[in-house]
Amino acid sequence: MANTLLMPKATAVWLVDNTALSFDQIAQFCGLHPLEVKAIADGESAQGIKGMDPIITGQLTRDEIAAGEKDQNRRLHLSEPKVRVPESKRKAPRYTPLSKRQDRPNAILWLVRNHPELKDAQISRLVGTTKATIEQIRERKHWNSSNLVPMDPVTLGLCSQIDLDIEVNRASKGRDQALPTGDTLLPAALTERLQPEQPARKSEDDELDADAVFAKLSALKGKTEDDQDH
């Protein structure tokens, strides 16, 4: 970026008020017309503008001002900036090679099938496509639908795994978690309360009682046979 004067009119106001430089010198340094500088000096112009000291801003040195005051024909030179600010470059749209552009529909199909929670805007950000194309692939109205094969956009190099994870996490926020299907383990808190059913065990008293009953029956049977013999 070329070295240019900051706030030229405010600088001119300060130079008029604080130096003995000629109108032509101030006009040349600030990029103004000499008559405009004269109007500033006469109070007809820039009345609401506060003067800015170019020495404080590092755009002019005291020695340069002194040299100009001694020689009315001398042109003032802007000081070199102490810090170089790189020119801002306009960020061009991301270029996608033709081969990868042909894989976009496959990547969109993969995203639609594997991450149905993603919105069209999120898919568009990931693979650089349009909402119309996404809608066509969702509804299988794309001109090449019969030949599309789901392909991971990360593998294709259309987006990074980090970008994909970020979009999936955003889309998943606020959604109800799917209930588990099939056989699953019960929580430990529940299993601790459940005790397995134990088969009933006969106590020794029950066994003794049974033996006593059989013995009594045998005694009665023997007594009956003796009565019949008599």
User: What are φ and ψ of residue 224, in 5° steps?
Assistant: -65, -40
pLDDT digits (tens, 9 = 90+) for 118-148: 999 999 888 888 888 999 998 888 888 888 8
Residue 63 burial (CB count, 10 A): 8
Q: 3-class SS at 144? A: coil
Report if pTM > 0.75: no
Question: Percent of the chain beyond pLDDT 90?
Answer: 18
User: Could you tell me if 31 and 5 are in contact, meaning their C-beta atoms sit under 8 angstroms apart?
Assistant: yes
User: ∠ at Cα 184 (182, 188), nearest 5°?
Assistant: 160
Question: What is the DSSP code (8-state) at residue 45?
Answer: S
Lowest mean pLDDT among 16-25, 81-90, 110-119, 139-148: 81-90
Res 158 pLDDT > 80: yes
From CA 61, how far away is CA 56, in angstroms rounded?
9
What mean pLDDT value characterizes the chain?
A: 76
pLDDT digits (tens, 9 = 90+) for 168-226: 888 887 565 544 444 545 555 555 555 555 555 554 444 455 566 666 666 666 655 55
Query: CB under 8 Å, gap of 24 or more: what pairs does 19-25 form?
Result: 19/65, 19/68, 19/69, 20/69, 21/65, 21/68, 21/69, 21/76, 22/72, 24/72, 25/68, 25/72, 25/74, 25/75, 25/76
From CA 33, how far away is CA 157, in angstroms rounded?
57
Half-sphere exposure of 12 (CA within 13 A, CB side): 29
Q: 3-class SS at 109? A: helix
Give me the residue label for tokens 């004269």.
Answer: 38
